[in-house]
């Protein structure tokens, strides 16, 4: 892994239906104990039409290449218990060194 891991995550997969027929996520661990770098980033764009500043939080994640994480997986931080949903997965192009698997994440924690 190129990025410095900031935590260990369990990759969660799977869904089921509840008694009302709604789809619910299962906490089935598909890939345990994956070293990961999860970084929170903030952006503060100014909206000229209404004169307001907004705080936008988003998360970037990196795991070792070949980990097998896919869009829709959930990552549970084993240190904090926070759960992140993987919105997209990509790998930077580099002709000399195989890059980490990168992800755009959304937190499921409420503020």
Question: What does the pLDDT read at residue 55?
Answer: 74
Question: What does the pLDDT read at residue 48?
Answer: 74
CA separation (Å) from 9 to 32, 53, 83, 106? 7, 33, 9, 15
- Rounded to two decimals, the pTM is 0.82
Question: What does the pLDDT read at residue 86?
Answer: 95
Tell me the two tokens of residue 31: 């890939």
The 3-state DSSP class for residue 26 equals strand
Mind listing the pLDDT tens digit of every residue in the chain (111 residues)?
A: 889 999 999 999 988 999 999 988 888 999 999 999 999 988 777 767 777 777 778 899 999 999 999 999 999 999 999 999 999 999 888 888 889 999 999 987 655
CA separation (Å) from 79 to 28, 101, 111? 18, 21, 19
| Superfamily (CATH) of domain 7-44+54-107 | Protein of unknown function DUF3599 (2.40.10.370)
Q: Where are the domains positioned within the chain?
A: 7-44+54-107
CA separation (Å) from 44 to 9, 38, 55, 65, 84? 29, 20, 5, 32, 22
Q: Give the length of the chain.
A: 111
Question: What does the pLDDT read at residue 97?
Answer: 85
């Amino acid at each position: 892994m190129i990025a410095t891991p900031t935590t260990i995550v369990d990759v969660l997969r799977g869904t089921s239906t509840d008694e009302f027929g709604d789809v619910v996520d299962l906490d089935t661990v598909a890939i345990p104990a994956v070293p990961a770098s999860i970084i929170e980033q903030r952006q503060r764009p100014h909206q000229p039409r209404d004169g307001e500043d907004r705080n936008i939080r988003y998360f970037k994640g990196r795991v070792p290449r070949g980990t097998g994480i896919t869009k829709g997986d959930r990552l549970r931080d084993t240190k904090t218990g926070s759960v992140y949903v993987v919105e997209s997965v990509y790998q930077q192009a580099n002709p000399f060194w195989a890059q980490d698997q990168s992800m755009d994440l959304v937190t499921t924690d409420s503020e």
